[in-house]
A and B are shown apart, each in its own frame.
Chain A
Amino acid sequence: MPLLKREMDMKQEEDTAAIREQPGQKTSFPGDVVFSLDTISTRTLFLGPGVRKEADNLIATRCGVLRYRPPATFFLDTSDDSYLPATGDDIVGVVVRRRGQEVLEQYYMVDFGKNTSRQTGVLPILAFKGATKRYRPNLKKGDLVYCRVRKTTVDGPVRLTCTSNNTKEQFWGPLRRTGALYRAKLSFVRRCLTEGSAEHSMIMEVGAKFPFESAVGLNGRIWLYTGFEKSQNLLYLLFRDAEEANGDVMLIKKITGRFLQETATLGDDFPVEDNTQYWVTRVA
């Protein structure tokens, strides 16, 4: 088994090298051949939005730049700013109301629309890690929740969940009300989540020296929490500046350095008060 695994790894490395050789940073238009699959051996592809497979070629279905993530994930990065939910997306949503009669059938309506439009999904009341009929989060209107898109259908509502089959990665759940929320462009959010990008390295660099909590939703909402008012404002402005920098590596490095200087000389900071208990025990 280990030998096989090593072989697979080697194969992947070869593939990765082959893919990296192909020009990918070019803007392609609908109908363009963005990538030819002749050079790679794996036939299991993960195709994201904007890419379609035809024979041995990947063809663009809209304008954008091809992005690749090992082992074999392809998608077309666009500056399109309207969010369409897809299965597996991590999003930050707002609780709108609670619906349903029986406890087991109750669910939260969660709004995850981009800036202006309303898009609501359904989050079952027990779809949290460790939630039972008695012990479960009690969310109010206006609370933020970090959740995952479980299923999207043509007619029905978008189904959301805060659980996963993988026990190691269970970080979804209600977010603190005292945190800050930043609304960003979708392209910025995608860059934040892509390893190797300037924005991602900025978050890592800041996080190493200045601990903070964040939840980056693919629907363009970024939740930030440091526990202190002034530093939270600064963090908000950092993300705002980084978005305005528009992928400029040097500028983002400059912004990061300035932010770290400012936080070092911050002086007295006021802790944000948060006495709310999101998880409550209910005696039936």
Chain B
Amino acid sequence: MDGSYVSIAERDTYLRFLKFGQREDKRTAFDYRDWQMVYGRDPGSCVVNLGNTTVISSVEVSPKRTNNPNQNKGTSKIDLSINPISFLKFQPSRNRLRTLRRQLRQHIKSAIFWSKCIDDESLCISRGRVVFQVHLSLDIIQADGNLFDATCLAAVASLLVAQRPEISVEGDKIVALSMYERTPIALQVNHIPISTTFSFQAASDLVIVDPSGKEEIVLNGNLTVVVNQNSEICGTYKRGVAALPMETIQRCVEIAALRSKDAALRLRQLSEDYISSRTKNLNLDIMVNLRRSKSEATGIIDESRQSVADRAAQLGLMQPVMPEHGVIISTTKETPKTGRPTEMVEEDEDDEEMEDDDGEELGGSESEEETTTLTAGDF
């Protein structure tokens, strides 16, 4: 269950290669492993391969209610699934895995959401009521070193092609239109942050880029530099015990800037290719799906759904919902808070301040109750 054992001879083997400027997998010190990225069928899903490291990423942008009256930005949510089984060479201990999960989450937050990679102000639908939530889920399938770069690359790649539904506002009624009614809109991506990881050995001037799984267990210092295509630093993340001189860090940033230009260009090209190929096939997709939904509408399943909705309306449980429309997010007016005791209101405000300081809101599970009852049809 707990981490795998590493012998002294094995540690020395990998260090001995680095001593002569070689590496265990026949790369040079500043040789980055080749990476591939393939987009999936759904917009916003992709698979990234960096050597043997494989990460699957998907993005879903959906409207969410918010309790914060000052909320004027979209929120983000990161799901990160990482398993000890996915580690190919050395299995980390439970503590190490917990640390790694926290570090990765922090890295993605700072590299993508704090660097304003996506325009979050355009993701506000109604201030203080409904905003878009960017739900980023990352699955680490195989781990063979340099998870930080692979996850960041996968996240950015999927954000480049992610789409959000069109919204129609009629008074107090906010409806998210399905993709058959109105074509979804792509997210506004301001810049493409690319992260590059360097590894160090304490008390030596050894620097390598893109550590493999075997090298990660030997070297005790890591520096991840996130630079976008305009050579602007979007964030750095340092972990480990090795203390670094200023010149080393500057050199690392220069190398990262060089790499990020190529990688960002390639990523942009891949995403544009995907979008253009998708728009060609999209019409066909919609035809197929519409035909399917029509056949479903005439079938038994849909009739029963209709009857349940009618019965619920008769009982006064919920309003009848037309299946042609998408998801109705909010139909009720904002309830005035005058009837509530003052103490409760103060508590609410405290919570909101906390959320403001955090800059992030993870989920809105408390506010989802009404939305779920009103949900009808598929997205």
Contacts and interface: CB of A to CB of B under 8 A. Distances in A.
Contact of A178 (B5, B12, B20, B85): B12
A117 B4 CA distance: 6
Interface string A235-249: 011001000000000
A183 B17 CA distance: 15
Interface string A130-165: 000000000000111000000000000000000000
B288 interface: no
Interface stretch (A83-91, A108-116, A196-204): A108-116
Interface string A179-209: 1111100000000000000000000000000
Contact of B20 (A94, A111, A223, A229): A229
B86 to A, nearest CB: 9
Contacts of A179: 9
Contact of A181 (B13, B19, B26, B87): B13
Interface string B1-42: 110111111111100110110101010000000000000000
Q: Which among A182, A223, A233 has the highest number of chain B CB atoms within 10 Å?
A: A233
Contact of B5 (A111, A229, A232, A233): A111
B90 interface: yes
A179 B16 CA distance: 11
A115 B20 contact: no
A175 B13 CA distance: 14
B186 interface: no
A127 interface: no
A69 to B, nearest CB: 31
A20 interface: no
B4 A181 contact: no
Interface residues of B, number: 26
A142 B8 contact: yes
B53 interface: no
A96 interface: yes
B88 interface: yes
Given A230-B20, A233-B16, A233-B22, A177 B8 contact: yes
- Residue among B1, B7, B84, B89 with max Cβ neighbours from chain A (10 Å): B7
Interface centre among A175, A179, A181 (most CB of B within 10 A): A181
Interface string B74-94: 000000000011011111000
Contacts of A43: none
Contact of A143 (B7, B12, B20, B85): B7
A182 B90 CA distance: 13
A240 B20 CA distance: 18
Nearest to B19: A229
Contact of B4 (A118, A144, A223, A236): A118
Contact of B9 (A113, A117, A178, A240): A178
A173 to B, nearest CB: 15
Contacts of A237: 26
Nearest to B143: A116
B69 to A, nearest CB: 50
Contacts of B12: 177-178, 180
Contacts of B2: 118
Contacts of B24: 236
Interface in B315-363: none
A74 to B, nearest CB: 32
A232 B8 contact: no
A94 B5 contact: yes
B1 A118 contact: yes
A115 B6 CA distance: 10
B25 to A, nearest CB: 8
A144 B85 contact: no
B6 A94 contact: yes
A154 to B, nearest CB: 20
A116 B91 contact: yes
Interface in A206-242: 223, 229-230, 232-233, 236-237, 240
Contacts of B88: 115-116
**Residue among B13, B22, B88 with most chain A CB within 10 A:** B13
A175 B5 contact: no
Nearest to A225: B9
Given A229-B16, A229-B19, A117 B91 contact: yes
Contacts of B87: 116
A181 B16 contact: no
A179 B8 CA distance: 9
A115 B144 CA distance: 12
Contacts of B8: 142-144, 177
B6 to A, nearest CB: 7
A142 B26 contact: no
Contacts of A236: 13, 17, 24
A178 B15 CA distance: 12
30 contacts: A94-B6, A111-B4, A111-B5, A115-B89, A115-B90, A116-B84, A116-B85, A116-B88, A116-B91, A118-B4, A118-B5, A142-B5, A142-B6, A143-B8, A144-B8, A144-B9, A175-B9, A178-B9, A178-B12, A180-B9, A180-B12, A180-B13, A180-B16, A181-B7, A181-B10, A181-B13, A229-B19, A232-B13, A232-B16, A233-B20
Interface of A: 94, 96, 111, 113, 115-118, 142-144, 175-183, 223, 229-230, 232-233, 236-237, 240
Interface of B: 1-2, 4-13, 16-17, 19-20, 22, 24, 26, 84-85, 87-91
Given A116-B91, A178-B9, A230-B20, 14 more contacts: A94-B7, A113-B4, A115-B89, A115-B90, A116-B85, A118-B5, A143-B7, A177-B8, A178-B12, A180-B16, A181-B7, A181-B13, A229-B19, A229-B20
